[in-house]
Chain A
Amino acid sequence: MTHLSDESVIELVMGEGGASDLEHADACEACARRVELCRGALALLQRADVPEPSPLYWEALRSGVRQRIADDKRRASAWTLLVPLAAAAALVFVLWSGGAKPPAAVAPSLPAWSPLPVAEEDDGLRVLEGLALTADADTDWDEPEGLSAYVADLTDEDSRTLAETLRGQGGES
């Protein structure tokens, strides 16, 4: 025999049960006991009402609710002021801390002009050194005006050409 479910017992206790459940409860001692258990609890509950507060209490309750709503609104207003202020403070801080950062590394700028490295094996240089020594030794020799500047401006290729020309002239003389 299948006993009544908990739900069916409650339906019987509440007067909502079907005829078949009622018949079962009449015939089944175990289910009848469960129904009586619940009815006994209901009887106890009906004798345990909540103490009624003073009639003045209800106005106090409403007043308390009004107060809480007013406090809540005040708090919310404070937040609406504080949030933009906090945002502004955060923005100022971010800007300030960004300015204090070390400057980003900048690639060193190359000078517009840089001297070419001196070639170690440049015959022209030795010729020019020889000329300079000759010039120092020969006091009668006057350096033509602008010669030093001209020589300094020569490219390697021109220096080499000049050296070969001078070497050829030296061989002839």
Chain B
Amino acid sequence: MTSSAIALPLGLASKSAPGGEAGLERDAERAAIAACRRGEREAFDALVARYQRPIYRLCYRYVNNHEDANDLSQDAFLKAWRAIASFRGDSAFSTWLYRIAVNACLNHRALKRPLTQELPEVLVDPRPGAEAEAERGDEARRVRAAVSRLPDRQRATLILKIYHDLTHEEVAEILGSSVGTVKANLFHALANLRRQMGATGEARS
């Protein structure tokens, strides 16, 4: 199969059982990975196209700004390209890629402190309903900032479980921990987040 023939659909990898459309997607992904291992960069481009959105969003939730998220996403894909020969297929490609991205984020956080914060929007939008929209945007920003202040492990668990809809087992595999630890970290992450928001009078449950 030539690399130019590889066309992968955009979006998250399907979790449905083999066969049907999901099975075809998986076959295409396997073919792309095999082509990458032969050094075909076009095949890797197809994999990037498939996973760029979830990886970017994962990184954004870690660093809470576009510039660093963009840099980290590219960094994660570069590391994946370098290491793709060592990918054995024991776990799903998406799990492997998430692990690389999470490690890139953790290293970035270790090197770059204090946290980068989003700047508040100061421009007033004159459209009808714009005020309510701005308020919602403001709340979203505060929640993202609160997430970015969580301890590393709790934040990683929360982002992967809540925003990427992974199973407890998948999160455990990515973070190299047990399912019990994942659940405990998730509990503490949610409780900390709720307390942080509540402490500043911003909670709206």
A residues touching B (Cβ–Cβ < 8 Å)?
6-7, 9-11, 13, 34, 36-45, 47-51, 53, 58, 61-62, 64-66, 68-69, 72
Contact = CB atoms under 8 A, between A and B. Distances in A.
User: Considering the complex of A and B, which 7 residue pairs feature the smallest CB-CB distances, nearest first?
Assistant: A40-B205, A48-B143, A6-B187, A41-B190, A7-B183, A41-B194, A48-B140
Contact of B184 (A7, A36, A45, A48): A7
Interface in B169-205: 180, 183-184, 186-191, 193-194, 197, 203-205
Nearest to A67: B74
26 contacts: A7-B187, A10-B187, A37-B191, A37-B194, A38-B187, A43-B205, A44-B143, A44-B203, A45-B147, A45-B162, A45-B193, A47-B136, A48-B141, A48-B144, A50-B61, A51-B66, A53-B56, A58-B49, A62-B45, A64-B70, A64-B74, A65-B45, A65-B48, A66-B41, A68-B74, A72-B78
A50 B55 CA distance: 12
B152 interface: no
Contacts of A45: 143, 147, 158, 162-163, 193
Contacts of B38: none
A40 B194 contact: yes
Given A47-B140, A68-B74, 7 more contacts: A37-B191, A38-B194, A41-B197, A43-B205, A53-B56, A62-B45, A65-B48
B139 A48 contact: yes
Most buried by A among B70, B144, B187: B187
Contacts of A53: 56, 66
B186 to A, nearest CB: 5
B30 interface: no
Nearest to B60: A50
Given A6-B183, A38-B187, A62 B49 contact: yes
Contacts of B204: 43-44
A45 B165 CA distance: 13
Contacts of A68: 74-75, 77-78
B78 to A, nearest CB: 5
B48 A44 contact: no
Contacts of B78: 65, 68-69, 72
B26 interface: no
Contacts of A11: 183
Contacts, number: 106
Contacts of A42: 162, 190
Contacts of B45: 62, 65-66
Contact of A69 (B70, B81, B136, B163): B81
A48 B184 CA distance: 23
Most buried by A among B44, B75, B143: B143
B117 to A, nearest CB: 14
A42 B143 CA distance: 11
A49 B184 CA distance: 24
B108 interface: no
Contacts of A69: 41, 44, 78, 81
A47 B187 contact: no
Nearest to B46: A62
A36 B191 CA distance: 10
Nearest to A48: B143
B74 A61 contact: yes
Interface in B44-68: 44-45, 48-49, 52-53, 56-57, 60-61, 66
